[in-house]
Structure 1
Amino acid sequence: MKATGIVRRIDDLGRVVIPKEIRRTMRIREGTPLEIYTSGEGEVIFKKYSPVEEMGQSASQFAEALYKAGGMPAVICDKDHVIAASGIPKKEILERRVSPMVEDSMNARRVISYRGESSDKILAIEGVDRYTLVCYPILANSDVCGAVLFLSDGKNGVSSELLEKLAEAASIFLGKQLEDE
């Protein structure tokens, strides 16, 4: 845990303001769900809540199935980070942040489909040199919870109708799973 040097007081209603700089850095917006943890040492920890991350092993198995069916690296992410991946070294990509352009696409509920125009290449994950072929948002209870992505294989690649349909089916399925939890 890293100290920020910022001290805030609790108001008479029990609220504390998270400073703007921290909200911006951590990508916390109005309405972002936060999970609250406590420790025996008197610490109170706020963590962004991710229902997709709660899927854990199921998301990993689903990414593996998507990779086998689509033949391109498959990624399942929440609104901020990669949760599961297949077809790409996991230590290279797991828990990395999604790129701001992918995050904006999710928030706008917009599908990304790369058809070969070099100007349309969108890097998917910060620090990973692979671009997005398909990005399909995951919706649960009409809220965006994450996305299903297919990435370039490191050489080339363009979206196909198969990849788009696989990503769409996966996002619908995962959204239904999240609604049932």
Structure 2
Amino acid sequence: MKSTGIVRRIDELGRLVIPKELRKTLRIKDGDPLEIYANKDELVLRKYSPVLTVGVYAQAIADGIQGVTEKTCLITDGDAVIYVSDGKYKEMTGQALSEDMDRILRERKCVILNKSDGANIISIVKGNEVEVENQIIVPMISEGDCYGSIILLDKDKTSRFSSGDVKLLQLGSSFLTAQFA
């Protein structure tokens, strides 16, 4: 394990302060769940992602949505792209989400973007602009917390996403968040 050279004392209530620099580097935000476990004589803190715990379901949902819509489906957690249903965009898997995506997840709102309506397509990951004409982003919310999103992408200039497409992604989101418990 990599040593950072930072030593912290635990207070009388068992609390430990994680320095702001480390939280920023590791993208740990206030309220983020951390998994704590012991490994020999070490105490390990690891970011916890419920989306990763239901990976098989996430993959099945993304593939199912792609099968029904014939569009590319992505599953993200709060930090990165977890699964991509289409081989064309596989390089996005594991890449960190962009600031625009972070903002959308914080707002916890469904977003439909169609270029034909004059909308600007949102960059999903940092430094990787994907040329698409239409985009839907549906957050995965469980017990008031946003754990990630389901995204649908379309390159077809003649088509537009509708509220029915949003409902399909919301169904997938509801199913995945039900598996978190």
TM-score (norm 1): 0.84
Tell me if structure 1 keeps the 8 A contact 2:137–2:150. yes
Flag structure 1 segments of 5+ consecutive residues without an equivalent. none
Q: Which runs of 4+ in 1 moved over 3 A?
A: 88-91, 155-159
| 1:83 match | 82
Deviations 1:147-180 (A, max 9, x none): 1111344x868751143232222122222333xx
Rounded Cα–Cα distance in structure 1 between residues aligned with 2:160 and 2:25: 32
| 1:109 match | 108
Rounded Cα–Cα distance in structure 2 between residues aligned with 1:106 and 1:87: 23
| 1:62 match | 61
> Secondary structure of the residue that 2:68 maps to in structure 1?
helix
- 86 and 23 in structure 1: CA distance in 2 versus 1, 3 angstrom threshold: same
| 1:147 match | 149
- 19 and 86 in structure 1: CA distance in 2 versus 1, 3 angstrom threshold: same
| 2:7 match | 7
Rounded Cα–Cα distance in structure 2 between residues aligned with 1:123 and 1:172: 24
| 1:50 match | 49
AA at the equivalent of 1:7: V
Pairwise CA distance, 1:86: 0.4
AA at the equivalent of 1:25: T
- 113 and 159 in structure 1: CA distance in 2 versus 1, 3 angstrom threshold: farther
Pairwise CA distance, 1:22: 1.3
- 166 and 20 in structure 1: CA distance in 2 versus 1, 3 angstrom threshold: same
| 1:163 match | 165
- 55 and 30 in structure 1: CA distance in 2 versus 1, 3 angstrom threshold: same
- 128 and 70 in structure 1: CA distance in 2 versus 1, 3 angstrom threshold: farther
Question: How many residues end up aligned between the 2 structures?
Answer: 177
Tell me if structure 1 keeps the 8 A contact 2:114–2:160. yes
Tell me if structure 2 keeps the 8 A contact 1:114–1:158. no
Tell me if structure 1 keeps the 8 A contact 2:57–2:176. no
Tell me if structure 2 keeps the 8 A contact 1:134–1:159. no
- 159 and 139 in structure 1: CA distance in 2 versus 1, 3 angstrom threshold: farther
Tell me if structure 2 keeps the 8 A contact 1:113–1:159. no
AA at the equivalent of 1:36: I
| 1:137 match | 139
- 127 and 158 in structure 1: CA distance in 2 versus 1, 3 angstrom threshold: farther
More off after superposition, 161-170 vs 25-34 = 161-170
1:74 aligns to 2:73 (yes or no)? yes
> Secondary structure of the residue that 1:114 maps to in structure 2?
strand
| 1:19 match | 19
Deviations 1:116-138 (A, max 9, x none): 06662211122433267110011
Tell me if structure 2 keeps the 8 A contact 1:133–1:158. no
AA at the equivalent of 1:14: G
